[in-house]
Structure 1
Amino acid sequence: MEKNPTMLFVVAAALTNEVGEILLQKRPEGRQMGGLWEFPGGKVEQGESPESALVRELKEELGVDVDPSNLIPLTFASAQNGDRNMVLLLFRCTQWIGEPVALDSPELKWRLPADMYALPMPPADVPWVEFLQKFG
């Protein structure tokens, strides 16, 4: 019998400032997909809700505090990663405490969705750019 692939849930934030720009972070070189630009976030650990995982990841990666009630579910994507099926959940966030800093990446950029097409991004993140441009 064929083994079922592992399901991996990943959360990401479209942190949006007052002019509609969204924060992207550059993946560190040496990591999988190093050098690509992505929405901040990470894996949902066992026992975590997607919202609590994203609150934790934003604190670890950017040093910002987010109230889970300020995370608005937007859309999802799926991707194959080796033998794992990834389900990626995107939330919008327009309110946080603190100034985002690159704690886990070499660089941060604020970009309008239309300007994100020029940046190299992980394949699973690309459909989100079009979604944010149309419905953001």
Structure 2
Amino acid sequence: MTAPILVVGAALCDGGRLLAARRSAPPELAGGWELPGGKVEPGESPEQALVRELREELGVETEALTRVPGTFPLRPGYVLEVWTARLCAGEPRPLEDHDALRWLTPGEIWSVDWLDVDRPAVTAVLHHLAGEWLPAP
């Protein structure tokens, strides 16, 4: 059996807020909100992939911090791991696969229409960060 393809997602936090990104592609995901990120390439660590993906997708420099417990199925053959990340330089903007970004305060986390596959990951992020700045749902 082939190992699943690993996708990393970012719980990018800044000033007590979490960044959400609205998909513009592919068509079946367009309009849904997700944690930004992407596939880990051969020879990359998950942390390196996260930093690269956020640079490509959002035009920012970041630092991967800690892995959020859990692995989340996306579609057959793909799994998601989420890492907390710190914004080091730049202002996020939607460059690839997204048409909007929103910084969400703890009270706004569920105000966007998260993709169904991202909901368990967002819940795990809330629990992981509960002691730092987000209340558990």
Q: Which runs of 4+ in 1 moved over 4 A?
A: none
Task: Verify the 8 A CA contact 2:17 2:105 in the aligned structure 1.
Answer: yes
Instruction: Sort the Cα spacing of 1:120 and 1:27 in 2 relative to 1 into closer, same or farther, 3 A.
Output: same
CA deviation vs aligned residue, 1:13-42 (integer Å, no higher than 9, x gap): 111111x21001110054341110001100
Question: Which of 61, 73, 76 does residue 70 from structure 2 map onto?
Answer: 76
State the structure with more CA Rg.
Answer: 1
Per the alignment, in what secondary structure is the counterpart of residue 124 of structure 1? helix
Match of 1:46 in 2: 42
How far is 1:118 from its partner?
3.1
Per the alignment, in what secondary structure is the counterpart of residue 66 of structure 1? strand
Number of aligned residues = 128
Match of 1:22 in 2: 18
TM-score calculated relative to the size of structure 2? 0.81
TM-score calculated relative to the size of structure 1? 0.81
In the alignment, structure 1 residue 119 sits paired with structure 2 residue 112? yes
Task: Verify the 8 A CA contact 2:8 2:39 in the aligned structure 1.
Answer: yes
Give 5+ residue unaligned stretches, structure 1: none
RMSD between superposed Cα atoms in Å: 2.0
Separation of aligned partners in 2, 1:43 and 1:32: 18
Q: Identity rate of aligned residues, in percent?
A: 36
Per the alignment, in what secondary structure is the counterpart of residue 102 of structure 1? coil
Which structure shows the bigger proportion of residues in strand conformation?
Answer: 2
Instruction: Sort the Cα spacing of 1:119 and 1:76 in 2 relative to 1 into closer, same or farther, 3 A.
Output: same
How far is 1:85 from its partner?
2.7
Instruction: Sort the Cα spacing of 1:108 and 1:99 in 2 relative to 1 into closer, same or farther, 3 A.
Output: same
CA deviation vs aligned residue, 1:74-109 (integer Å, no higher than 9, x gap): 13332252xx33221111112321111111211000
